[in-house]
């Protein structure tokens, strides 16, 4: 498949496997992140693992429009090596991507450096997400030393770093800009309104989190989209609102999902939640 787009394109590279159930939270996060990027008039080319393969998923306006297998039979631990090799063979990539985004994994070899070097040759600015700045404290001492050595070689090839951790304005990591990013649902924290005399009629808005998801006819995606609002530590009440346009496909989708709920309840002998 050719790499062509009428949109401004971003390359997002995640060493995450879509078939691994043990890291389903991370998998959901990176998929939501790629879809979220694409809502800003960007075409997102997401590269990740899918079973033994490495695939490229293309998103526009939050919807997957293309999927391509880049390589097969990948040995665990060689993800970035294969992606770097794929990049080296793409002669038309220069000028295609506005920038590249990589989720960091602690390094035990130079594979991420090789990937960064190939992006640098293609003149694609590279930003790396550091999921935590204290990750080396979770590693054995020798492994942390090896990672730090390779990280020092990687930093000069990186345009900037992102992190959800708390940082000061103007912070740097190994001489590169360190930028604050959100983690999970977008969070809005407006000013708390003044209390009203009658507490029964008062409305104290302390914060609003929102997730918007288009699930189509897929019941599993619908239920998963609801689960995202109930992450560990999230104790606030959640309200689900479905916007249904009269005499449109929306009505058919809702009917189909209701039918699937009813069938699942009959088959499983369980009472699934009434959500619409």
160-206 pLDDT per residue, tens: 998 888 888 889 999 998 888 765 433 233 344 445 455 444 444 44
Pick from 232, 135, 228, 131: which is nearest to 183 by CA? 131
Check whether residue 104 and residue 227 sit in a common domain: no
Q: Say if 135 falls within a structural domain.
A: yes
pTM: 0.61
Q: Residue 47 — pLDDT band, cuts 50, 70, 90?
A: very high
The CA-based dihedral angle spanning residues 127, 129, 135, 139, taken in that order and rounded to the nearest 10 degrees: -70
Q: What percent of the chain has pLDDT over 70?
A: 78
Give me the mean pLDDT over the 22-40 stretch: 81
Whether residue 42 is predicted with pLDDT greater than 60 in this model: the reply is yes
Check whether residue 93 and residue 213 sit in a common domain: no
Domain closes at, from 184, 211, 228: 184
Check whether residue 51 and residue 159 sit in a common domain: yes
Q: Which of 19-23, 39-43, 70-74 has the lowest mean pLDDT?
A: 19-23
Check whether residue 102 and residue 222 sit in a common domain: no
Q: What gap in Å lies between CA 119 and CA 102, rounded to an integer?
A: 11
Q: Say if 1 falls within a structural domain.
A: no
Check whether residue 178 and residue 116 sit in a common domain: yes
Domains contained in the chain, number: 2
Domain closes at, from 131, 158, 184: 184
Check whether residue 136 and residue 18 sit in a common domain: yes
Check whether residue 226 and residue 170 sit in a common domain: no
Decide: residue 199, CB within 10 A, 0-12 exposed, 13-18 middle, 19+ buried: exposed
Q: Say if 275 falls within a structural domain.
A: no
Range of the domain at 60: 8-184
Q: Say if 273 falls within a structural domain.
A: no
Most confident by average pLDDT, 121-125, 131-135, 212-216, 230-234 = 121-125
Domain closes at, from 165, 184, 203: 184
Check whether residue 99 and residue 202 sit in a common domain: no
């Amino acid at each position: 498949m050719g790499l062509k787009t009428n949109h401004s394109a971003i390359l997002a590279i995640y060493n995450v496997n879509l078939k691994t159930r043990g890291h389903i939270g991370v998998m959901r996060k990176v998929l939501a992140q790629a879809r979220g990027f694409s809502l800003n008039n960007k075409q997102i080319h997401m590269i990740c693992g899918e079973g033994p393969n490495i695939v490229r998923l293309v998103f526009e306006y939050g919807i997957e429009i293309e999927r391509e297998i880049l390589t097969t039979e990948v040995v665990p631990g060689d993800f970035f090596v294969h992606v770097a090799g794929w990049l080296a063979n793409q002669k038309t990539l220069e000028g295609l991507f506005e920038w590249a985004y990589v989720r960091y994994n602690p390094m035990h070899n130079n594979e991420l450096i090789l990937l960064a070097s190939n992006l640098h040759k293609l003149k694609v600015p590279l930003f790396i997400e550091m999921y935590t700045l204290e990750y080396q404290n979770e590693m054995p001492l020798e492994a942390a030393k090896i990672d730090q050595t390779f990280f020092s070689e990687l930093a000069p090839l990186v345009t900037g770093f992102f992190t959800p951790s708390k940082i000061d304005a103007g912070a740097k990591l190994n001489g590169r800009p360190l930028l604050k990013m959100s983690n999970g649902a977008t969070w809005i924290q407006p000013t708390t309104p003044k209390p009203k005399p009658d507490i029964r009629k008062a409305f104290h808005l302390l914060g609003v989190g929102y997730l918007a998801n288009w699930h189509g006819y897929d019941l599993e995606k619908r239920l998963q989209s609801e689960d995202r609002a109930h992450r560990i530590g999230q104790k606030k009440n959640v309200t689900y609102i479905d916007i249904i346009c009269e005499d449109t496909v929306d009505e058919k989708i809702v009917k189909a999902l209701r039918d699937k709920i009813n069938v699942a309840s009959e088959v499983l002998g369980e009472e699934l939640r009434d959500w619409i």
